Amino acid sequence: MLLKDEVGMLQRIPLFTGIESSKLKLLAFTSDRVSYSAGQILFRQGDEGDAAYVILSGSADILVDSDSGPIKVAEMVPNSIVGEIAILCNSSRTATVRAATPLEALRIRKDHFLRLMREYPEMTIEILRVLADRLSHTTADLIDARSAK
């Protein structure tokens, strides 16, 4: 997959829709193309967060440690971004991400990502929107869980 195809994929990610394509090209160029075989770990829960990943092809499982071993909480498909929370909050990884199939991804380094956010407010707002959206989903899930008790 070439740089220009990657740019096309990035454009399809909601986070980056508002950003002009030349900047996305720069982001793609300065990111590392990484590939994983099925079962390989992208990062582990508790690791220091140093990068976010955009899935280009293949899929990945999001696993959270629990007393009864890891639980799969979500699956990431192409065009989704994963690992952005840890680099935004300077915290350690909140989950483990494991490739479910052979996986191609774009690895965006933390400092590059933060730099982009500083330089493009529209991207920052988009990220806020996505996060707020996730929070409202989580809240709804929590209410469901509580009321189900």
Partner 1 sequence: MEPSLARYIWTHTKKQQVWILMIVLLSMIPYFMSFDLPKLIVNGPIQGKGFEQPGTTLPFMRLHYNLPFIGEVQFFSGFQLDRTATLFALSLVFLLLVIINGLFKLYINTYKGRLGERMLRRLRFDLVDRVLRFPPIYFKRVKSAEVATMVKDEVEPLGGFIGDAFLQPVLLGGQALTAMLFIMIQNVWLGMIAVVIVAIQIVLIPRMRRRLIVLGRQRQLTARALSGRVGEIVDGIGAVHVHDTSNYERADIAARLGLIFKIRFDLYQWKFMVKFLNNFLAQLTPFLFYMIGGYLAIQGRLDVGQLVAVIGAYKDLPGPMKELIDWDQDRQDVQVKYQQVVEQFTVEGLIAPEIGALTIDDPDPMANPLSAVNLSIADDGGAMLLNRISLQIKPGETVALVSTATGGAEALAEAFARLNWPDSGRVASGADDLLELPEAVTGRRMSYASSDVFLFQASLRDNLLYGLKHAPLTSVPYDGAAADQRRWNIDEARRSGNPDVDIHSDWINYASAGATGPHDLFEAVRRVLDAVVLSRDILDLGLRSSADITRHTELVGRIVELRAALRTRLEHEGLSGVVVPFEPGAYNKEATIGQNLLFGAAAGSELADKALAANPYFASVLRQAGLDLTLYEMGMEIAKQAIELFADLPPDHQFFQQLAFMSPDEIPAYETLLQRLKNRPHEAVSETDRAMIITLSFAYIEPRHRFGLLSDELMSKIVAARNQFYENLPPELQNAVERYDPAKYIAAATVMDNVLFGRVGNNHPDAPDRIRSIVYDILDELGLYAELLDVGLDFNVGSGGRRLTGGQRQKLDVARALLKRPDFLILNRPLSALDQRMQDTVLRNVLETARCDGHSPAIVWVVTNPAMAMMFDRVIVFDAGQLVEDGTHETLLAGNGIFKELLS
What is the DSSP pairing of strand 51-57 with strand 81-82? antiparallel
Q: Does 3 bind partner 1 (CB under 8 A)?
A: yes
Residue span binding partner 1 (CB under 8 A) among the ranges 8-16, 23-31, 85-93, 131-139 = 23-31
Q: Are 44 and 66 in contact (CB under 8 A)?
A: no
Site string for partner 1, 45-64 (x = CB under 8 A): ------x-------------
Residue 61 amino acid letter: D
CA–CA distance, 108 with 86 (Å, rounded to integer):
13
CB of 147 to partner 1, least distance (A): 43
Residue 9 burial class via C-beta count within 10 angstroms: exposed 0-12, middle 13-18, buried 19 and up: buried
Residues 103-132 interacting with partner 1 (rule: CB under 8 A)? 107, 111-112, 115
Looking at beta carbons only, is 45 or 112 nearer to partner 1?
112
Q: How many residues bind partner 1 (CB under 8 A)?
A: 21
Tell me the two tokens of residue 70.
Answer: 């890891």
Looking at beta carbons only, is 2 or 148 nearer to partner 1?
2
Alpha-carbon distances of 88 from 23, 111, 116, 139, rounded to whole Å: 20, 10, 12, 20
**Residues binding partner 1 (CB under 8 A):** 1-4, 6, 22, 25-26, 28-30, 32-35, 37, 51, 107, 111-112, 115
